[in-house]
Amino acid sequence: MSQIRAFLAIDLDDDLKPKINKIMREFKQIDANIKFVDLQNLHFTLKFFGDIDTEGIDLISEKIENVVKDFKPFNIKIKGCGAFPNKNRIKVIWVGLDEDEILKDLHDRLDKEFNSIGFDLDRRFSSHLTIGRMKSAKGKDKVKNTLEKYENVDIGSMEVTDIVFKKSTLTPRGPIYEDLIEYRL
């Protein structure tokens, strides 16, 4: 029985990547221990499955199709920059969403379907793009200042027309993502 590391995501539109790259470049100028996400890997995670048996992909896919048939393409507004768990204990640096009610509804309905086949419900869902992970407190104050500078930054809007089931292969240089199945809204 073979396994893959998998997740369900919405890819970021290419035309929004330059604005996010500009923010990332400013964080990169800080003498801090931050591991940045490659621009081509930026996405909004709808569900992280972890390691799953490849035989279960069809069942997961069926659950996704049950939900996406009820959704039409919708717009999201990408706005703001912040940190998890908070600005005083920075582990993850993210760019967020301003308008995401439809996205939350999509997530919640998917999560309920996945729970019916044995996956845990997400305790907390926060739609965001992870742009970097802080590996130590080095440079924290400057990172915090930059977060505050971009707290309300307006990145732009994009239309969500599909969601993608992805395989993630971990390598020493970072993860490699492979699109396995695309679901049109």
Residue pLDDT, tens place only, 4-39: 999 999 999 999 999 999 999 999 999 999 999 999
Count of domains for the chain: 1
100, 127 in Cβ contact below 8 A? yes
Query: What is the distance between the alpha carbons of residues 164 and 45, in angstroms, rounded to a whole number?
Result: 10
- In degrees, to the nearest 5, what angle opens at C-alpha 15 toward C-alphas 124 and 38? 60
Residue pLDDT, tens place only, 115-165: 999 999 998 888 899 999 999 999 999 999 999 999 999 999 999 999 999
Is residue 107 annotated as part of the catalytic site, yes or no? no
Structure confidence at residue 173 as a pLDDT band (50, 70, 90): confident
121, 111 in Cβ contact below 8 A? yes
Its domain, for residue 172, covers 3-184
Choice among 8, 11, 43, 96 that is catalytic: 43
pLDDT of residue 126: 87
> Which CATH number fits the domain that encloses residue 155?
3.90.1140.10
Is residue 128 annotated as part of the catalytic site, yes or no? yes
Choice among 47, 79, 107, 128 that is catalytic: 128
Residue pLDDT, tens place only, 31-74: 999 999 999 999 999 999 999 999 999 999 999 999 999 999 99
Residues in a beta bridge with 53: 3
pLDDT of residue 97: 93
